[in-house]
Chain A
Amino acid sequence: MNFVRSVAAVVLISVVEHLLSLYLPALLYMDLFLLYSVYVGLIASPLTAVYSGFFVGAIQDVLSGLSIGMNGFSKTVIGFAAATARRYIVLDSTWLRFLAVLCASLLNMAIIGGLLYILGQPIRADFVRTSLIQAVCTSLGALVLFQVVDRLRRGTDKQLARPYAD
């Protein structure tokens, strides 16, 4: 069930990203794939977070035209980092989550920039500026989306749990 929901979420994110790229490209500054990786890290086991990050990153690479593995690498690390951080810090607070997403975005920027540099690939001149804007936008998006997803999850869990409760 979790697997199906995960796949559905990834498909939904992919579709939304695709549509945003067509109609609202400004909103692409919000990295939905990163939000997904962090969120899975916050609610699932490290192993699940690692694999989720890997797959969602690979899909993001395909959609964004980057070399496959670039975002896969960063999202795998971010998923694992989020899952590991959750073991030591309670990240239920909204602002802590904002901070976690901001850190994850900066880590994402550092990993991708580092990979591009290490692998000898060209780096855009506005890479840092764009990445910082993306980090802020994604963190702000997390303030809203995480709340929405939390509510959806709670409602779904209640619906699923009801027959057993009865």
Chain B
Amino acid sequence: MIRSVLSRPVVNLISLLIFNIFLLSVQLRTRSGQSLLKGWTLTLISPVISSSSYLCHQTLRVWDDYVSLVGTRKQNRRLQQEIQQLRVDLQRLQELNRLYLRMESYQKFQSQFQYQTVGARVVGKSPPFWKSTFFLNIGSNDTVRADDAVITPLGIVGRILSVAARTSEVELITNMGAAAGVLVGESRIQGIAQGNGNETLSIRYVSSQEQVHAGDLALTSGTDRIYPPGLPVGRVITAYNTTQISKEITLKPAVNLANVQEVLVLTDYRYRQ
């Protein structure tokens, strides 16, 4: 059957037709100016090219995604460790930078301050619901004595409550019962700032006739013989008259006591008095 269909004339016919097509393809060009033969050749070859390219791409992908990943787990673990180490290093450096900046401001303050001070680092804090105190890494060996004032360049922090050879305890100005003589506002009204046991202070013994407003700055007056005069104690939050003869004034400490980390201890102020 196939032999009868593909007889000699038919084979010749097909051959000649193909030859005609070939002749046409050599001569003719597409509307884009490309030779038909070239276009057809490209059409014929393009599946081979794209298939081989696809195969090559897929092979490389498999290689990259699977075969090359043999050591990736190990490498990943090592990189994770490196990242952790770098994070620690970064935090340490940032901390050092912050410390440097604080020390710089402390040194500047110390150089301008007329009293002798000793720098100290906060090494421990008491639970805030019991007592507002913390511990310093200096003590009697560093000439620290009880009732020495503890300050920062921003303002007062408290006083030395007790001293050991290499450690001392500081009572914060916000502690219940702690107090400091202050001058409030532009008219420098005298009063006594007392800790409320929370994060605020109250100023006592200011007459209700005096003009004190929120935002007014309270500075140490020096009358308590612990804190030298002129140091910031805090700013007035509220000030209003009560039925009593004195005003009810609430103060926010000048120093953020929750975050204080380095302080200065005035070691010779009290002995100068």
Contact = CB atoms under 8 A, between A and B. Distances in A.
B37 to A, nearest CB: 11
Interface in B6-49: 7-10, 12-13, 16-17, 19-25, 27-28, 30-31, 36
Contact of B16 (A51, A83, A120): A51
Nearest to A121: B28
A72 interface: yes
A70 B25 CA distance: 10
A36 interface: no
B28 A67 contact: yes
Contact of A73 (B7, B12, B17, B28): B17
B24 A68 contact: yes
B13 A119 contact: no
Contacts of A42: none
Contact of B13 (A50, A67, A68, A72): A50
Contacts of B19: 54, 69
A131 interface: no
Nearest to B24: A69
A113 interface: no
A46 B14 CA distance: 13
B interface, over-half SS: helix
A120 B43 CA distance: 15
Contacts of B28: 67, 119, 121
A69 B24 CA distance: 5
A119 B36 contact: yes
Given A67-B27, A72-B23, A73-B24, A47 B8 contact: yes
A14 interface: no
Interface in A72-89: 72-73, 76-77, 80, 83
A69 B20 contact: yes
A106 interface: no
Nearest to B36: A119
Interface string A133-156: 000000000000000000000000
20 contacts: A46-B7, A46-B9, A46-B13, A47-B8, A47-B9, A50-B9, A51-B12, A67-B23, A69-B19, A69-B21, A69-B22, A69-B24, A72-B16, A72-B20, A73-B17, A73-B24, A76-B16, A77-B17, A119-B36, A121-B28
Interface of A: 45-47, 49-51, 54, 57, 67-70, 72-73, 76-77, 80, 83, 115, 119-121
Given A68-B27, A69-B24, 5 more contacts: A54-B20, A67-B28, A77-B13, A119-B28, A120-B36
